[in-house]
Amino acid sequence: MIKTDILIIGAGPTGLFTVFEAGLLKLRCHLIDALPQPGGQCSEIYPKKPIYDIPAYPEILAGDLTDKLMEQIKQFEPGFTLGERADIIEKQEDGTFIVTTNKGTKHHAPVVAIAGGLGSFEPRKPPISNIADYEGKGVEYMIKEPEIYRDKDVVIAGGGDSALDWSIFLADVASSVTLIHRRNEFRGHLDSVDQVQKLKNEGKINLITPAEVKEITGDGKVEGVVVHKKDEDPFTIYTDHFIPLFGLSPKLGPIADWGLEIEKNAIKVNNALDYQTNIPGIYAIGDVNTYPGKLKLILCGFHEATLMCQSAFKRIFPDKKYVMKYTTVGGVQGFDGTKKEAPKAVVKKIE
C-alpha cells in the first residue's frame, strides 16, 4: 500500500505543478498516470510542439516544459506509479481514500486530486474510407518527432490551433507544407492565423480553402491525397505524409464511474472556493474539470492547483494554521534537506 498526503491522478503539467505547491506546504504527493512517463500530452503527443502562453517563456517546447517542471519538483521527492490506470476509488470510514490501479497497485491518501487532462483520448479521424490502410505508413494523427518530416512533402488538414501551429513549425522543416481546411475561417488564435497568412504570402505554405481530403493514394504508403474544392474538379496533391489534426475525442474512462458529477465529459467543481468535486476530499484541476468561465489552459491549471493545495492542507490539518510566506522571503525548503533562498541584503553600518 502506497501512502501519501495528496494522491494525484494524472502526471501532466498541472499534476506536476501540484507537487510543487503541495511541497511548499510540506505535503507529500504521489502521482498515477497511465502513460509510461510524466508529462501527459506534452510528452506523449506533442513533445516538440512550441507553447507560447507559459509565463516568463516567450516560447518553450512541450517536452522542455515537462523537464523544467520535473526539475522544479525534484526536491519534494514525489512518488510515481506510471503505466497504470486509476480504476477504483473507495472512501474509507475515516474519510480517506484508497485508489486501486488496473494492475492492482493500491494507494491510500486523505486527499485525491484528479488532474487527468482530457482523460484517455483517441484522435478524431476524417471520414476517408481507406485511411486505416495508411496509418503508420504516412498517415499520422499527432506529431511526436518533427524531424521525420525534414525535407519531405507534408499535407496537414484541420482548422484549429494544432493544424495552424504545426503548419507554422514545419514550414522551416519540411520541403513543402500544404494546409487544407474545409472553411475559409480558422478556429485558432488570431496570431497563428496571421502567421499562416504571412507564410502563405511568402510562398512557404500552400493554403487550400474551403476544401477537404476525400481519398488517399499510394502503393503501400502515402503518395498523394485527393482534394475536393468547392466549384472545382477533384485534384491530387502528391505528398509523403498526410496529417489530419482534428483534435482528440476525450474519454474520462473509469473516473466517470466514481460517483462524481459529470457535465459534457468533464468533472464539475466548485470554482468559487477550491475546485472540490461533489465528493469532499476529491478535487479536479486542469482540463479535466468544468465550471462557469472555464478556460482549458495550462496556466489556469497551475492556478487551480495552487488553491486546491491550500484547501487540501486545511482538510489534512484542520487544527493547524498555515501562514503563507512568499518564496522570495521564506525560500523553498525541500524534503531532501536542501533550501533555496534569496541572498540576504548586506547591512553596512555608516560611521
How many Cβ atoms from other residues are within 10 Å of residue 47's Cβ? 21
Rounded Cα distance between 31 and 126, Å, is 35
Per-residue pLDDT of 52-86, as tens digits, reads 889 999 999 888 999 999 999 999 999 999 888 89
- pLDDT exceeds cutoff 90 at 252: no
Rounded Cα distance between 109 and 95, Å, is 9
Rounded Cα distance between 239 and 138, Å, is 9
Grid cell 513549425 is found at: 169
My answer on whether omega of the bond before 234 falls inside 30° of 0, hence cis, is no
Mean pLDDT of the chain: 89
Which amino acid makes up residue 173?
Answer: V
How many Cβ atoms from other residues are within 10 Å of residue 130's Cβ? 11
Secondary structure (3-state) at 59: coil
Per-residue pLDDT of 154-212, as tens digits, reads 999 999 888 998 999 999 999 999 999 999 999 877 888 999 999 999 999 999 999 99
Which amino acid makes up residue 60?
Answer: I
Rounded Cα distance between 178 and 158, Å, is 11
> With 0-12 CB in 10 A as exposed, 13-18 as middle and 19+ as buried, what is 242?
buried
**C-alpha torsion sign, points 257, 263, 266, 271:** negative
> With 0-12 CB in 10 A as exposed, 13-18 as middle and 19+ as buried, what is 142?
middle
Q: Please give the average per-residue pLDDT across 88-99, as a whole number.
A: 95
Q: Measured between alpha carbons, how far is residue 279 from residues 137, 273, 326 in Å?
A: 46, 14, 31
Band of the pLDDT at 116, cuts 50, 70, 90? Answer: confident
Q: Check residue 341 and give its pLDDT.
A: 75
Per-residue pLDDT of 270-312, as tens digits, reads 988 899 999 999 999 999 999 999 999 999 999 999 999 999 9
Band of the pLDDT at 351, cuts 50, 70, 90? Answer: low
More confident residue, 351 or 247: 247
- pLDDT exceeds cutoff 90 at 324: no
Grid cell 526536491 is found at: 75
CA 112 to chain centre: 19
Grid coordinates of 32: 498515477
Q: Check residue 131 and give its pLDDT.
A: 94
- To 10 degrees, the CA torsion angle through 187, 248, 285, 65? -80
Which strands, in side-by-side order, build the sheet including 241-244? 206-208, 176-180, 153-157, 241-244
More confident residue, 336 or 244: 244
